[in-house]
């Protein structure tokens, strides 16, 4: 729906969902929220892949709870792809089985991944393996098992790696999400983490948000452990990450999004619920963090969010 209205382009997602029926109607408020999250997370990816590394060009991206995300194809379309790049998608088997089955029905997408003899598809397990793009089913709570599977696909924690989490860790108990974050800090030479989550559960709007999600069976098990921007920062710094920032989506919409782009988006659909738009944005945030054990100073210069 957001693509149809014109918030952003994603030909791969349109292709992947071509046979999907009954796509639910979304209100303009939600569509603009999807857009804002998409814009910033993909801009983080752009900055990561554009950072110069001298004689060490290899990079990795690990997309946690990837679902039907088509980021890999966006990277290719934006000419950010490098033959040395490795891209991993992790999610539950039931989710990835649908994605892999859909991919198998679209030769144009498979051709962007590699030639037929370079791709190994397993519809029963929901896995895909290729030289650069790997879809790996599993449960993030059993992180060591997923790391083993990624290593089988040439994952190397010594390579600069960007981890992405969009409303994923918050559905896990804090002990599991912190185990992942701690492992990354301990085992990586250079790692960056971008995390989009809900915050502020204790005010009136936050309580209503939690009740609505609970009724839909979507319990935010990690929300009370990291309820504020500062606690999101501390979750990284407390386990060895060297740099961390966190901003709510109001700040990012007003100060990170270019003014011209903001005007374009606001012309697409009128919002009658302006106060609700600000309330929702105040209860979502993006945190990013970095650990840098290399001597390459380019990573220390990298600033992802830094609102103007």
- Please write the tens of the pLDDT for every residue from 215-248: 887 788 999 999 999 999 999 999 999 999 999 9
Q: Nearest Cα to 154, choosing from 120, 126, 184, 129?
A: 129
Q: Examine residue 219 and state whether it is found in any structural domain, yes or no.
A: yes
pLDDT of residue 193: 97
Q: How many domains does the chain have?
A: 1
Q: Examine residue 221 and state whether it is found in any structural domain, yes or no.
A: yes
pLDDT of residue 2: 66
- SS3 of 42-82: HHHHHHHHHCCCCCCCCCEEEEECCCCCCHHHHHHHCCCCC
Cβ(177)–Cβ(169) below 8 Å: yes
pLDDT of residue 19: 63
Q: Examine residue 305 and state whether it is found in any structural domain, yes or no.
A: no
Cα–Cα distance measured from residue 226 to residue 223, given in angstroms and rounded to the nearest whole number: 5
Cα–Cα distance measured from residue 120 to residue 122, given in angstroms and rounded to the nearest whole number: 7
CB atoms within 10 A of CB 124: 8
pLDDT of residue 206: 87
Cα–Cα distance measured from residue 101 to residue 128, given in angstroms and rounded to the nearest whole number: 10
Q: Examine residue 304 and state whether it is found in any structural domain, yes or no.
A: no
CATH number at residue 169: 3.40.50.150
Cβ(155)–Cβ(191) below 8 Å: no
pLDDT of residue 22: 61
pLDDT of residue 20: 60
pLDDT of residue 305: 72
Q: What parts of the chain have a pLDDT lower than 70?
A: 1-2, 5, 18-25, 53-57, 307-308
Q: Examine residue 298 and state whether it is found in any structural domain, yes or no.
A: no
How many residues are recorded in the chain?
308
Q: Examine residue 306 and state whether it is found in any structural domain, yes or no.
A: no
| pTM as predicted | 0.94
Q: Examine residue 15 and state whether it is found in any structural domain, yes or no.
A: yes
Q: Examine residue 88 and state whether it is found in any structural domain, yes or no.
A: yes
Which range of residues forms the domain containing residue 63? 2-292
- Please write the tens of the pLDDT for every residue from 63-109: 999 999 999 999 999 999 999 999 999 999 999 999 999 999 999 99
Cα–Cα distance measured from residue 289 to residue 188, given in angstroms and rounded to the nearest whole number: 13
pLDDT of residue 18: 65
């Amino acid at each position: 729906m957001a693509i149809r209205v014109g918030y952003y382009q994603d030909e791969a997602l349109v292709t992947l969902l071509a046979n999907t029926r009954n796509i639910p109607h979304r209100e303009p408020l939600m569509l603009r929220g999807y857009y804002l999250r998409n814009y910033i997370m993909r801009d983080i990816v752009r900055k990561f892949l554009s950072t110069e590394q001298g004689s060490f060009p290899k990079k990795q991206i690990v997309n946690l709870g990837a679902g039907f995300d088509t980021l890999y194809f966006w990277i290719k379309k934006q000419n950010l792809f490098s033959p040395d790049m490795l891209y991993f998608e992790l999610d539950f088997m039931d989710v990835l089985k649908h994605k892999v089955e859909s991919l198998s029905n679209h030769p144009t997408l498979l051709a962007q991944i590699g030639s037929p003899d370079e791709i190994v598809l397993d519809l029963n397990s929901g896995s895909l393996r290729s030289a650069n793009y790997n879809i790996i089913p599993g449960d993030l709570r059993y992180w060591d098992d997923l790391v083993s599977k990624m290593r089988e696909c040439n994952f190397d924690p010594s390579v600069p790696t960007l981890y992405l989490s969009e409303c994923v860790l918050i559905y896990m108990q804090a002990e599991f999400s912190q185990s992942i974050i701690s492992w990354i800090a301990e085992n990586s030479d250079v790692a960056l983490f971008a995390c989009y989550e809900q915050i502020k559960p204790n005010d009136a709007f936050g309580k209503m948000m939690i009740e609505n999600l609970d009724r839909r069976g979507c319990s935010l098990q990690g929300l009370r452990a990291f309820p504020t921007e500062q606690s999101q920062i501390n979750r990284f710094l407390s386990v060895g990450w060297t740099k961390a920032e966190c901003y709510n989506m109001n700040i990012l919409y007003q100060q990170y999004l270019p003014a011209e782009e903001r005007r374009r988006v606001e012309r697409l659909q009128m919002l009658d619920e302006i106060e609700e738009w600000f309330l929702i944005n105040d209860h979502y945030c993006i945190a990013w963090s970095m650990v840098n054990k290399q001597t390459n100073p380019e990573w220390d210069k990298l600033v992802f969010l830094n609102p103007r």
